[in-house]
Structure formats: structure tokens, C-alpha cells
Amino acid sequence: MLAELQKQWGKTLSWEECGSLCERMTEFRTKLKLEKGLRGPMMHCRQCNAVHEMRLPPITIRSLLFALRKQGVVCDTELAQLDAAWKRYRAQHRLDGCGKRRDVPGTAPPASADHVHSPR
């Protein structure tokens, strides 16, 4: 998965592209989990008032940047620059941690078994 991230990430990617990369990585992680037959712990969910498997929150652009640092793809200085640039861009365009617009209807996670319960 990390190799995949290294392959797909580049310094020339726009934040929008980073957002879709996060989305692909989140999907990839879900697929890997399914293939290995790994299940998250069960939990009582207050959002849908049912007991179901705990879902991992989606991969954010910030966690993507930190993963790249851990792998040595970027150095500390680059990480600090990217992080600051992302924070600025995110505030300017009112995006969530995954690079999605928060004020557009229809972007809320669907209330299915696949919904995520991460704080935004």
C-alpha cells in the first residue's frame, strides 16, 4: 500500500489530485482488509443506532503527507511547507481533511453500512 502511495504521489500534484489519491488509498486499504478477512471491532454506533463493525476514518491529506515523510519521500522541511500550504488551501476553499468541499450538498457520507464516523 505504501509502495502504491509512493508510486502515485508526486510533488507536482494539485491538492485536488491529492484528495483523489486519498480516496484511492482509503479504498485500497478497505480492499486489503477485505482480502485478508480482517474485521474491525464491533461497536454501538450512535449515528445509526445499531451495532456494527467499527470503520476506520478515511485517509486525510495530512496523514498522507506524514506517511510520505515516514517513508523519506519528503524531508522535514518539505513536510512543513506542504502542511502549511495545505492548511492555507484548505481554509481558503473550505475543504474537509480529505480535500472535499464541506458546503456542497450530497457530499455527506451515505447512511449505509459503509458510512464513516470520523470527526470532521
Q: At what angle do helices 76-93 and 15-35 cross, to 10 degrees?
A: 100
Interface with Zn ion by CB under 5 A: which range of 3-11, 22-30, 44-52, 63-71? 44-52
Determine the Cα–Cα distance for residues 43 and 52; give it in Å rounded to an integer: 6
Residues in the chain: 120
**Does residue 32 touch Zn ion according to CB under 5 A?**
no
Cell numbers that stand for 22 in this block: 486519498
**Does residue 107 touch Zn ion according to CB under 5 A?**
no
Interface with Zn ion by CB under 5 A: which range of 3-11, 46-54, 56-64, 95-103? 46-54
**Does residue 45 touch Zn ion according to CB under 5 A?**
yes
Footprint of Zn ion on this chain (CB under 5 A)?
Answer: 45, 47-48
